[in-house]
Structure 1
Amino acid sequence: MIMRALQDIQGLKFPDDYVIRHFYKTGLHNRKGHVLEVGCAAGNNLMLYADYGWQVTGVDILPEALAQARHNLGLGAILIEASADDGLPEGITEPVDVVLLPNVLCYLRDDGVAALAKAVRAHAAPGAAIFVRTRLIDDYRYGKGEPAGPDSFILNTVETGEAGLFHRFYSRDALIALITGAFGVVDPSVFHIRFDNFQAGHLIANNSDLVIWGQISEEKFAG
Structure 2
Amino acid sequence: MLIIDKLESYGFLGFARLCFQLMKTRLFYSPARLIRGPFCLRGRSRIVWGKGFTTGVGVRLDAFGEGRGKCLRIGKNVQLNDYVHIAGIESIDIGDDTLIASRVFISDHNHGAYDTKDALSSPDVAPATRPLISCPVSIGKKVWIGENVCILPGVTIGDGAIIGAGAVVTKAVPARSIAIGNPARVVRIFNDDMGEWGRV
Bigger relative contact order (CA 8 A; separation at least 6): 1
Q: Report the TM-score when normalising by structure 2.
A: 0.26
Q: Report the TM-score when normalising by structure 1.
A: 0.24
Structure (1/2) with the larger helix percentage: 1
